[in-house]
Amino acid sequence: MPDLPLTDRIALVTGASRGIGRAAALALAKAGAHVVAVARTQGGLEELDDEIRAATGKSATLVPMDIAEEGALDQLGLAVHQRFGRLDILVHAAAILGPITPVSHIEPKHWARVMDVNLTASYRLIRSAEPLLRASERPRAIFLTTSRAHNPKAFWGPYGASKAALENLVRTWADELEQTKIRAVLLEPGAMRTKMRAEAMPGEDPMSLPDPSEIGPLVVELAQADLGLPTSNVVFADWKRAGKLASA
């Protein structure tokens, strides 16, 4: 029986307990990777592990944690190093929406929380993961973003600003590592049937949106792709229409 495409690869997925992060974790596991699943919700992680076991016969490594907690990602990097010695695939899907409100009405504590989760934790994750990715033969890092990063809309200020900064951060990091084996990509899933989308658009029919499971094959493809610098985003809708990577 031939190996699966990601056999023996170590994949760390944040936001893995639900939505796109969960779909990515399950798809990577089905493709042969050992998944290190990170999320705040222990119960959600355990449900993911049950699903991975049912599909593959193997378990995931579960890490219940708040990625914005001081020092948490440093400890995670150390734990991955001690157990695996490397990281082959990073999928950073964890994010929060924050308040949908005029910029002038945003409370400082809400602004700080969005930036802590969506931006500062991303920097700390890059800082922690880079040495582990350097130890891989074919390291790939996939960061989830949004059209709001480059197409601002009223009331989406904290979320859009945090994702715009994330895109700048990832592109800067990728440029710094151009001469290494590490390749990064910004993945724009668009509107999907997730809890975050329901919070943002409560009157929308969720059945009119793609299920997060549909993006799993694209994540697996990106984990194997020969990527250039992330000068443009990989857009799920474009990939789905074309049946292949629309941008890399």
Residue 103 lies in a domain: yes
Q: Is 226 among the domain residues?
A: yes
What pLDDT score does 246 carry?
A: 44
Chain mean position to CA 111: 21
Q: Which has the closest alpha carbon to 246: 189, 191, 199?
A: 189
Q: Output the domain CATH number for residue 195.
A: 3.40.50.720
Residue 247 belongs to a domain? no
Task: Give the C-alpha separation, 231 to 27, whole Å.
Answer: 26
Torsion of CA 185, 80, 131, 183, to 10 degrees: -20
User: Containing domain of residue 171, as a range?
Assistant: 10-242
pTM listed for this prediction:
0.93
User: Is 183 among the domain residues?
Assistant: yes
Catalytic residue at 123? Answer: no
Q: What is the band of 1 on the pLDDT scale with cuts at 50, 70, 90?
A: very low
Residue 4: inside a domain: no
Looking at per-residue confidence, does 248 or 68 come out higher? 68
Res. 90 pLDDT band, cuts 50 70 90: very high
Q: Could you tell me if residue 5 is inside a domain?
A: no
What does the alpha-carbon distance between residue 121 and residue 42 come to, in Å, rounded to a whole number? 19
Task: Report how far residue 126's alpha carbon sits from residue 64's, in angstroms, rounded to the nearest whole number.
Answer: 19
Position 244 scores a pLDDT of 60
Does residue 2 sit within a domain? Answer: no
Catalytic residue, chosen from 159, 173, 236, 239, is 159
Mean of the per-residue pLDDT values of the chain = 93
Query: What total of structural domains would you count in the chain?
Result: 1
* Tens-place pLDDT, residues 126-167: 999 999 999 999 999 999 999 999 999 999 999 999 999 999
Q: What's the pLDDT band for 248 if we cut at 50, 70, 90?
A: very low
Q: Is the pLDDT of residue 76 over 50?
A: yes
Residue 188 in domain: yes
The better pLDDT of the pair 37, 3 is held by 37
